[in-house]
Amino acid sequence: MRIRDRLSLQFTLIFAVLLLCALATIYFVTYKYRAGNFYARLKDRALITAELFLAEDSLSEENFRSVQKKYPQTLSDEIVRIYNDKDKPVFLQDTGYQWTHAVIDDVRSKEELNYSVRNIQTVGLYYRDNSGNFVVLASAVDIQGEETLRQLFWSMFSVWLISILVMYFLGSLFARIALYPITRIINAVKFIRSTSLDKRLPVKEGKDEINELSITFNNLLEHLEQSFDAQRSFVANASHELRTPLTSIMGGIEVALSVERDKEEYKKVLADVLVESEKLTDLINHLFELSHSNVDVNDFHEIRLDELLWQVKDEWSHRLADSKILLQYNLPEDPKRYTISGNSHLLFIALGNILKNAVKFSGGQTVTCTMGVQDNKAVISIADLGIGIKPEDLPNIFQPFYRGSNAIGHDGVGIGLSLSDKIFRLHNASVQVRSELGKGTTFFIIFPV
């Protein structure tokens, strides 16, 4: 079911329930008022009858005539009886309806009694007179009141049904008007494809939810556009970087096969092919690591950064035979202050990439790794005394396949720092870089603990 129809139905249902409660309250109040009013009229009939037949000798002539004028105003299906102390009807002899002794005794004990059986309402009074004590009972059917209630019920029911239909129509109209901006957004988004991510949704002045939705969509489109641009750039750069060693390998093999050569020349060609194959393997490994750098937070576990940094330093000290790596710690006694939740394998790769670059560009000089804790944050710094980074290259060093203009003579494909930055951001860590051309570079990796 569409949201517009669901809103219309919900709105109509709420209105129907509220209107039904209001109409039912009015009907109930009217019913109680009608019953009370009719009981009052029956009580008047009982009193008039008692005064007419029992108080004739104690009333003045003028008052007695006044009572006589009231008596002819009978009610529908009216029955009036007067009973003496022996429960015998007096004054009004009639072989018709008779009340039971239990009802008569109940009137004597309570002195006034009101009750209803089906649609017949009855009032009983205990009347004390100088000639004795009597019980007066009067009953009648409120035909006019019941007809009025019946008409009121059907009128209310008709009004209720008509109101529901009208409210459903108005609810559909208002839902359509309220959801029109969303419909407009949907129609605009339908025409946005991967080739037209530069399009944006219109945003009007104001701070309503529709504008917030449009702004959110625009922000999403902005991120998607940047992501697609980065992906296209990544694919183009990856293709170029993969083509270079493959071209060298194929060229070397073609040259070797073009003419007959001696054993040493074939060895040289094979050595060149091996070097290029190693570069190709290294590039493929980096691409594989980059594509698998996203992990679920459920795979995280507790990691002591001091132990991880020592493992990274030990690994690259063995892998780079001519490396000079100095490890320094300035840590508090509590290891919890430099223990984080993360993926140790990915962090090992990220720190290793930065340390490997520091060794590669240091020109055989010492690389210093320092770890400390500042303001509840664990800070790892990796400093070298190498060639440094040009100021114009600093903003781009974390872009995939980007290499500084002064790094062309060194091995690498420009993926390591990009991969490291992605891993650090996955762990909510930030990276700051300070570099001076010709004097060295320092990377600060800051982990919130």
Topology annotation, domain 295-448:
Heat Shock Protein 90 (3.30.565)
Q: Which residue has the tokens 């051309």?
A: 437
Closest CA to 49 of 110, 92, 7, 14: 92
CB atoms within 10 A of CB 317: 15
N-term to C-term CA, the chain: 48
CA 379/CA 253 separation, integer angstroms: 49
Decide: 370 and 380 in contact? Cβ < 8 Å: yes
Q: To 10 degrees, the CA torsion angle through 155, 158, 163, 169?
A: -160
Going from N- to C-terminal start, the domains of the chain cover 3-148, 209-290, 295-448
CA 42/CA 26 separation, integer angstroms: 24
- β-strands 325-330, 301-304: how paired? unpaired
Residue range 415-430, pLDDT digits in tens: 788 888 888 988 889 9
Which H or E run contains 104?
helix 101-110
DSSP symbol at 119: T
Topology annotation, domain 3-148:
Beta-Lactamase (3.30.450)
CA distances from 133 to 82, 99, 109 (A): 10, 17, 13
Decide: 425 and 350 in contact? Cβ < 8 Å: no
Residue range 369-409, pLDDT digits in tens: 999 999 889 999 999 998 999 888 888 888 877 777 777 66
pLDDT the model gives residue 64: 46
Give φ, ψ of 103 to 5 degrees: -65, -40
Q: Answer whether residue 216 shows pLDDT above 80.
A: yes
pLDDT the model gives residue 318: 85
Residue range 267-289, pLDDT digits in tens: 888 888 888 787 778 777 766 76
CA angle 276, 277, 278 (to 5 degrees): 90
CATH class of domain segment(s) 209-290: mainly alpha
Closest CA to 285 of 241, 333, 343: 241
Q: Which one is predicted more confidently, 89 or 159?
A: 159
Residue range 319-331, pLDDT digits in tens: 887 788 999 999 9
Q: Write down the pTM of the prediction.
A: 0.49
CA 102/CA 108 separation, integer angstroms: 10
> Which amino acid belongs to residue 440?
G
CA angle 443, 446, 447 (to 5 degrees): 145
Report the chain's mean pLDDT, rounded to a whole number: 82
Which H or E run contains 69?
helix 61-70
Give mean pLDDT, residues 126-132: 79
